[in-house]
Amino acid sequence: MKRKIILMVVFALLVSHVVFSQTQAIWPTKGWEKSSPGKQKMDIKLLSALHEKIKNGDYGYVDGMHIFRNGYLVYEKYYRHDYVKINKGRDKSPGMYNYYNPDWHPFYKGTKLHTLQSVTKSVTSVLIGIAIDREEIPGVDAKVLDFFKGKKISNVDKRKKKLTLEDVLTMRTGIEWNESIPYTDPRNSCIQLEKSDDWFKFVINLPVTEEPGTVFEYNSGASLLLSAIIKETTGMYIDKYAEKHLFKPLGILDYYWKRTPTQLPDTEGGLYLKPHDLAKIGYLYLNNGVWEGKQVVPEEWVKASLHPHVKDVAPKNDRHKWAYGYQWRILPNRFTKSYVYACTGYGGQYLLIAPEYKLIAVFNGWNIYETRALTLRVFYEYVYKAVQVKTSSFKVDKKG
């Protein structure tokens, strides 16, 4: 009997240890806990060297650098620029899609909300995964035109009928589109989209000139279709859907999401978030879609989103080969055989995740001018390399 009691006590202690261990994950729902680079085994000299280069203007207009490791905020710097003065004498036309308008870019009307530009696409992909899990969207094999039955659509042929949700997510729509020229060029399809009266009609009525699922072509208009799909399937605009099913669970209380002339939220580049809140989305994916013990995004969707569905899609002038998942970029690691997962946006918006080191980096900026800009190379050579140095070189801050 005594032996049985002892075994029961040991078993109870083991169970309590398991439960206790499972609750030890750090969840920044109410804000990120701070630590030091040394405490989290990062070389502060490399991070400080990058800070000095940014401060000196080596990478143009960078607004902020935020580094997170092991669930802690370990390093952050803000850089102030007078965008009113910088934009003086440039385009003065009103509206939220004038990128020289300091009321809208890079910060939303004097707040700390920073434009994410095409990082919005990746956040939209997260929401598509949630909608599929909730069975509001049947799956990635669903035909795009089936979402819009009853709507008058032009240029419908065999190719357009084949177009699937996965083709949209992986930028293999075959839709006639040209976004490879500068955004200052009026021939750029994205600029034409942003000047149209009905963005959905602008995109859905374009001809499909390539077989869907075969050719990668970066297409912001295709990402806009995801906004319309969410509205048709859930009955909610995607900003409100995000608020309920993604932002609220993560403790993201403040955001702004641009709306198009027909009130459809802009999922090609219209979301504004604070850097710490953008990092939460990175942390959600770092934890396979789990937040505070709850599966907010299906683990299968996280894996599918970060799978290299399309390989070697980097432009010819880009020496860094990368792949594309579901509106996420997948970067082969320059130091190991693993991957870095990236959300990137016009002007220097970056959310970067290196799972093997539990490392997240967020950079914001507004390099739309003729200046040298921050690149992914900088992340590898300073931030990622900061965890590559030997452990013996770290100075642990006991207070951190």
**pTM, two decimal places:** 0.90
User: What single-letter amino acid sits at 193?
Assistant: L
Classify residue 162: in a domain, yes or no.
Answer: yes
Classify residue 49: in a domain, yes or no.
Answer: yes
Query: In this predicted model, what pLDDT tens digit does every residue of 183-216 receive, in sequence order?
Result: 888 899 999 999 999 999 999 999 999 999 999 9
Query: In this predicted model, what pLDDT tens digit does every residue of 58-105 receive, in sequence order?
Result: 999 999 999 999 999 999 999 999 999 999 999 888 899 999 999 999
pLDDT band of residue 14 (cuts 50, 70, 90) is very low
User: What span, in angstroms and rounded, lies between the C-alpha atoms of 297 and 286?
Assistant: 12
Classify residue 17: in a domain, yes or no.
Answer: no
| Backbone angles phi and psi of 169, in degrees to 5 | -60, -30
User: What span, in angstroms and rounded, lies between the C-alpha atoms of 326 and 281?
Assistant: 15
3-state SS string over the chain? CHHHHHHHHHHHHHHHHHHHHHCCCCCCCCCCCECCCCCCCCCHHHHHHHHHHHHCCCCCCEEEEEEEECCEEEEEEECCCCHHHHCCCCCCCCCCCCCCCCCCCCECCCCCCEECCCHHHHHHHHHHHHHHHCCCCCCCCCEHHHHHCCCCCCCCCHHHHHCEHHHHHCCCCCECCCCCCCCCCCCCHHHHHHCCCCHHHHHHCCCECCCCCCCCCCCHHHHHHHHHHHHHHHCCCHHHHHHHHHHHHHCCCCCEECECCCCCECCCCCEEECHHHHHHHHHHHHCCCEECCEECCCHHHHHHHCCCCECCCCCCCCCCCCEECCCCEEEECCCCCCEEEEEEECCCEEEEEEHHHCEEEEEEECCCCCCCCCCHHHHHHHHHHHHCCCHHHCCCCCCC
pLDDT at res. 68: 98
Q: Token digits for 250?
A: 């993560």
Classify residue 13: in a domain, yes or no.
Answer: no
Could you identify the residue written with the tokens 């299906």? 298
User: What span, in angstroms and rounded, lies between the C-alpha atoms of 295 and 298?
Assistant: 6
Other CB atoms within a 10 A radius of the CB of residue 294 amount to 8
Classify residue 15: in a domain, yes or no.
Answer: no
Query: In this predicted model, what pLDDT tens digit does every residue of 319-376 receive, in sequence order?
Result: 567 899 999 999 987 666 788 999 999 999 999 999 999 999 999 999 998 778 888 8
Query: In this predicted model, what pLDDT tens digit does every residue of 115-147 receive, in sequence order?
Result: 999 999 999 999 999 999 999 999 999 999 999
| Mean predicted confidence (pLDDT) in 215-241 | 97
Q: Token digits for 76?
A: 């952050």
pLDDT band of residue 11 (cuts 50, 70, 90) is very low
CATH of the domain at 148: 3.40.710.10
Query: In this predicted model, what pLDDT tens digit does every residue of 15-55 receive, in sequence order?
Result: 333 333 333 479 999 999 999 999 999 999 999 999 999 99
Q: Token digits for 350?
A: 């970056």
Whether 215 contacts 312, CB under 8 Å: no
User: What span, in angstroms and rounded, lies between the C-alpha atoms of 351 and 282?
Assistant: 7
Classify residue 16: in a domain, yes or no.
Answer: no
pLDDT at res. 389: 58
User: What span, in angstroms and rounded, lies between the C-alpha atoms of 80 and 78?
Assistant: 7
Classify residue 1: in a domain, yes or no.
Answer: no
* Domain extent for 90: 44-393
Q: Token digits for 372?
A: 């040298």
pLDDT at res. 190: 96
Classify residue 325: in a domain, yes or no.
Answer: yes
pLDDT at res. 229: 98
pLDDT band of residue 313 (cuts 50, 70, 90) is confident
∠146-199-330 over CA atoms, to 5°?
A: 75
User: What span, in angstroms and rounded, lies between the C-alpha atoms of 334 and 320?
Assistant: 9
Number of domains composing the chain = 1
